[in-house]
Structure 1
């Protein structure tokens, strides 16, 4: 299995001299199975350069897994170049939205309104298909088994476990470890805690034993205190997940858009001091735009 990072910034694209090393594009990850089947997780601005790289292997069938419908994870879809070329297929997978009452098709239909984009969906030359997924219900994409897991974010948000040819990975998408919203003295505390415990256990099962965990590490522990409820994790929380799940490699991603490359490396160095790597611990890495990892 091969992973390539095309976008690793969170919230908003942040190009410029201070983000050259790790990249300024928002979330997009390319996965290739050993049979070269193409799976893409999220369609942030990073999907545009990815789509240009695909022009040398047309026609393509691109299976895109959307974690959730926030802009930084879908805004590159209208610029996915194969959509404009006959013979290609874009198969978009994602969650049903209980607020709108629509499936994953709405992430295209909303963006491709004339008010926002000059080309309507009906004018796209590629075949576009939609697959609405359910939590914990696996599907097969070629040789790969894909299992969505409900994560914790201020919208329906899937993490994805991908298994193929004896290899496995898990991407959290945007995720904040669930917390009890009640005080221990509150009569609803115990009931809500049982819900939290069940959700946490399900997430741990989903990422257990994977070769690669790619996790939301938006904040430092100090930053998190003022950002609770925003739906994002910390370096600390993701390292704890990686240790408990006994994964082999952790990639920290969704880099805070205001954090320069230098500041990102400084924050990561501090985290590694606080979590010295012991025998059997995962390998900890910062996700970098353009980097390929094969395992």
Structure 2
């Protein structure tokens, strides 16, 4: 059996190979706060190297501590780093993991999520049916089959509770409410709004800007949110030439949504693998020129909502 501990990065190192302080102040640990922490902010593929130190190279993973619950949004390579961190923080781990869709940059960290191999831990895993009809359980199982991976999902000794959801689902976890909408018909991607005690965080990171319905759904989801996490740093979602360095981007759509929805803070996420730190600095400067209360997500960044 594969030793999962041998295939994970140290919990304080990102894929650029540089230390990151991921520790929360004591008053922001799991409890009565509403806290968002970024563990992976990159899209498509991990980007290790000296040119991505400041923003980080791990793919999408965001942790939300809210109402005594731990929510995890997407399972890119940042999930591996989060997993080792959790093992040092608590003897028993329980979390609700929400997948937007099953492109590799959203699921590739799941086989390396060490807490899932530990008996006594519990994970509730939510996701929509993929375009090929596969459930979230089937998608996560398939990527761990030979010859892709040496250890099958069935070797995970934690309790895994898979829940199939769809656009329009409303999930209540005690007093935390998670609403879902469709953002992209081509990928079956969902957007999430997490609400607790009158505060809301919206995670909308695979929007098809060519679809009016997707934009209308996003506008509904983002209305008066405290934070909108948005996929605004790709030059063109339909352009798969990742070497293209164009800074002409759909982030302008994110600003339009944030303004129209009266969003308090806009966080751009899902950074293009072709964009190094200097390119992202330039993008952030342009964005803040149009929407001062906006910034780009960075690995290790913490937002305290309440």
TM-score of the superposed pair, with normalisation by structure 2: 0.81
Deviation at 1:153, TM superposition (A): 5.8
Instruction: Give the secondary structure class of the aligned counterpart of 2:45.
Output: coil
Once the 2 structures are TM-superposed, how far is the Cα of residue 202 of structure 1 from its aligned partner?
A: 2.8
**1:26 CA displacement:** 0.4
Q: Any unmatched runs of 5+ in structure 1? A: 180-195, 278-282
The aligned length equals: 264
Contact 1:10 1:218 in 2 (8 A): no
Between the aligned partners of 1:149 and 1:30, the Cα distance in structure 2 is 20
Q: Secondary structure at the match of 2:218?
A: helix
Query: Does the C-alpha gap of structure 1 residues 270 and 206 become closer, same or farther in structure 2, counting only changes over 3 Å?
Result: closer
Supply the distance in 2 between the matched residues of 1:257 and 1:118 (Cα, whole angstroms).
27
The answer as to 2:267 corresponding to 1:255 is no
Does the 8 Å CA contact 1:153/1:175 hold for their aligned counterparts? no
Structure 1 counterpart of 2:115: 82
**Residues of 2 paired with 1:226 and 1:71: CA distance?**
17
- Residue 223 of structure 2 aligns with which residue? 208
Runs of 4+ deviating beyond 6 Å: none
Aligned runs of 1:41-190 on 2, under 5 Å?
41-55=73-87, 56-99=89-132, 101-152=133-184, 154-179=186-211
CA distance in 2, matches of 1:225, 1:8: 16
* Alignment TM-score, normalising by the size of structure 1: 0.84
Residue 96 of structure 1, CA deviation = 1.4
Of residues 24, 33, 43, the one that matches 2:57 is: 24
Deviates more, 1:262-271 or 1:84-93: 262-271
SS of alignment partner, residue 78 of structure 1: helix
- Specify the structure having the higher radius of gyration (Cα): 1
Aligned counterparts of 2:144 and 2:174: Cα–Cα separation in 1: 29
Aligned counterpart, 1:227: 239
Q: Kindly report the root-mean-square deviation, in angstroms, between the aligned alpha carbons of the 2 structures.
A: 1.9
Provide the residue aligned with 2:7 in structure 1: none
Q: Mark the runs of 5 or more structure 2 residues left unpaired by the alignment.
A: 1-33, 243-248
CA contact (8 A) 2:228 2:265 kept: yes
Q: Distance in 2 between matches of 1:294 and 1:57?
A: 21
Q: Do the aligned residues in 2 keep the contact of 1:153 with 1:174 (CA within 8 Å)?
A: no
1: CA distance, partners of 2:230 / 2:237: 19
